[in-house]
Amino acid sequence: MGKRVRIGDNGRPLADRRTRTLRKTSFPGGIDASDGDVPGHCTRALDPGSHPAPLPFARPDIGEDEIAEVVSCLRSGWLGTGPRCAQFEADFATHLGGDVACISVNSATAGLHLAVEAFGIGPGDEVIVPVHTFTATAEVVRYVGADPVFVDVEPGSLNIDVSKIEAAVTPRTRAIIPVHYAGLACDMAAILKIARRHDLRVIEDAAHALPTTFNGTRIGALGSDATVFSFYVTKTLATGEGGMLVTRNAEVAKRAKVMRLHGINRDVFDRYRTGGNWYYEVIAPGFKYNLTDMAAAIGLHQLRRLNEMHRRRQQIAEAYLARLADLPLRLPLRARAGDLHSWHLFPVRLTEGAGLSRDALVDSLAAAGIGTSVHYMPLHLHPYWRDSCHLAPEGFPVSTAAYEALVSLPIYSKMTDEDVDRVIAACHDALGRETGR
């Protein structure tokens, strides 16, 4: 296995003089590692003067149709929330099956916050979340004054360990927020069964999960109370920034639509288009979470190309699974037969006999011009969550061990076969050299 991170008595990871401290990092293609979902404190910057040319960790797949739609939006004079957002919401609902309400927002974090708020969760309440996730999953619980309760993950999928959920339920528990890690669906049948038994809400964090399916049904169309998708620049559908809250609960949809724009009771497009009435009322202290038509213009065509882009991710994943199988790596699980894995991420874990640490592998790939990331440094190791929730590594052995060995390899639809070959060759060069293979 890769070199283990040394944990001090206070639960803090001890510094390694050989590991560089990283700050804000920029990638070719405009991806900023200080933003949302390139999270990974071990993300390595690529030296622009190095050879060969850098291959970024992620890059959006923007086509001519998206560009033309953005230009049309600019020429229309309506850049804010308007007709393109409405069309994007309608198209997204159709994609999921047509019997859901879709509320476009400016991030998945915003969508999760709106969902938690709409269900009336607040001070004194608890919400169960996996510890192996990006901070947004838990921070939205804090936004409403409630307490996140952290649960470890399954060793294979790194999704929330369903067998540990029930033990975390208390009289204060109001909801569960499962995360479909890397794009592989959680065991939603088991989660929904537990939720019904304890009268809990289920809010799916589907930031990684488009177009993931579970038991043949698209994530977003299951029996959950709400589902939230992300359209951040690295995602399988990218609008730069953006997200979608999906629900079948009419009251939740109504509340979210009001709260996403300052608690105003009327849509801005209805008020300002020709023949509209300016009058509105503020009925709650809402937020500034609306998506713009500029972003929706991109999303409209990304959605139409979703299957095409997913097929390419699937091809890349299959190449990795086949050609990295002889290396000392634990590879991600495939979806069950008949289901789809979105392949938002391709996280690998060093195993026994790798002969080098996770950070050494990251450095070796960086030297070959390959961008990588780590998903994730688990929340119990971050100072805020560790200290405020009194968390320790021994409470989350699976997530802790996974983190110490994790590297996310590049996987995005704009990668060429030559790019994929290059990543595979670099992995073999780094790990084959150390193991003598």
φ, ψ for residue 345, nearest 5 deg: -125, 155
Output the pLDDT for position 26. Answer: 35
Is residue 297 within 8 A of residue 69, CB to CB? The reply is: yes
Name the residue among 143, 82, 84 with its Cα closest to residue 109. 143
Neighbours of 212 (CB within 10 A): 25
Give the residue carrying structure tokens 């026994």: 352
Distances (CA, A) of 111 to 120, 181, 196, 255, 289: 15, 18, 23, 12, 8
Categorize the per-residue pLDDT at 91 as very low, low, confident or very high, splitting at 50, 70 and 90.
very high
**Cis before residue 397, ω within 30 degrees of 0?**
no
Grouping H, G, I as helix, E, B as strand and the rest as coil, residue 148 is strand
Instruction: Give the distance from CA 120 to its chain's centroid.
Output: 24
Output the pLDDT for position 271. Answer: 57
Residue 299 scores a pLDDT above 70: yes
Average pLDDT, the chain: 89
Output the pLDDT for position 433. Answer: 61
Is residue 212 within 8 A of residue 219, CB to CB? The reply is: yes
Output the pLDDT for position 52. Answer: 73
pTM greater than the 0.75 cutoff:
yes
Q: What is the DSSP string of 162-180?
A: HHHHHHH--TTEEEE--B-
Output the pLDDT for position 278. Answer: 78
Please state, in angstroms and rounded to a whole number, the distance separating the CA atoms of residues 398 and 403: 9
Kindly give the pairing relationship between strand 173-176 and strand 126-130: parallel
Kindly give the pairing relationship between strand 243-247 and strand 226-230: antiparallel
Distances (CA, A) of 102 to 58, 200, 259, 316: 27, 22, 14, 31
Please state, in angstroms and rounded to a whole number, the distance separating the CA atoms of residues 302 and 254: 26
Categorize the per-residue pLDDT at 147 as very low, low, confident or very high, splitting at 50, 70 and 90.
very high
- Tokens at 236, concatenated: 């399988």
Amino acid at 19: T
Residue 82 scores a pLDDT above 60: yes
Give the residue carrying structure tokens 């790939």: 365
55-69, 103-117, 254-268: least confident range: 254-268
* Tens digits of residue pLDDT in 4-52: 444 444 444 544 433 333 333 334 333 433 344 443 333 444 454 556 7
Percentage, residues of the chain above pLDDT 70: 85
Amino acid at 297: A
Strands (E) located in 317-391: 329-330, 346-350
What is the mean predicted confidence (pLDDT) over 89-109? 96
Grouping H, G, I as helix, E, B as strand and the rest as coil, residue 257 is helix
Active site residues: 235
Neighbours of 274 (CB within 10 A): 4
Helix axes 358-367, 417-435, angle to 10 degrees: 130
φ, ψ for residue 44, nearest 5 deg: -105, 130
Strand pairing partners for 345? Answer: none
* Tens digits of residue pLDDT in 148-202: 999 999 999 999 999 999 999 999 999 999 999 999 999 999 999 999 999 999 9
Give the residue carrying structure tokens 């690529």: 46
Neighbours of 51 (CB within 10 A): 8
* Tens digits of residue pLDDT in 301-319: 999 999 999 999 999 999 9
Residues 6 or more apart from 64 whose CB is under 8 A from it? none
Output the pLDDT for position 39. Answer: 39
Output the pLDDT for position 432. Answer: 84
Q: Give me the numbers of helices (H) and strands (E) for the chain, helices first please.
A: 14, 14
Please state, in angstroms and rounded to a whole number, the distance separating the CA atoms of residues 123 and 405: 37
More confident site: 50 or 241: 241
Q: What is the DSSP string of 268-286?
A: HHHHHSTT------B-S--
Please state, in angstroms and rounded to a whole number, the distance separating the CA atoms of residues 157 and 408: 14
Output the pLDDT for position 1. Answer: 45
Q: What is the dihedral of CA 109, 113, 118, 120, to 10 degrees?
A: 150
- Tokens at 393, concatenated: 């590594």
Please state, in angstroms and rounded to a whole number, the distance separating the CA atoms of residues 37 and 243: 12
H or E element in which residue 432 lies = helix 417-435
Domains assigned to the chain: 26-60+306-435 (3.90.1150.10), 64-304 (3.40.640.10)
* Tens digits of residue pLDDT in 314-370: 999 999 999 999 999 999 999 999 999 999 999 999 999 899 999 999 999 999 999
* Angle of CA points 171, 173, 177, to nearest 5°: 160
Output the pLDDT for position 276. Answer: 67
Output the pLDDT for position 51. Answer: 66
Categorize the per-residue pLDDT at 98 as very low, low, confident or very high, splitting at 50, 70 and 90.
confident
* Tens digits of residue pLDDT in 408-435: 999 999 999 999 999 999 999 999 864 4
Output the pLDDT for position 266. Answer: 83
* Tens digits of residue pLDDT in 183-196: 999 999 999 999 99
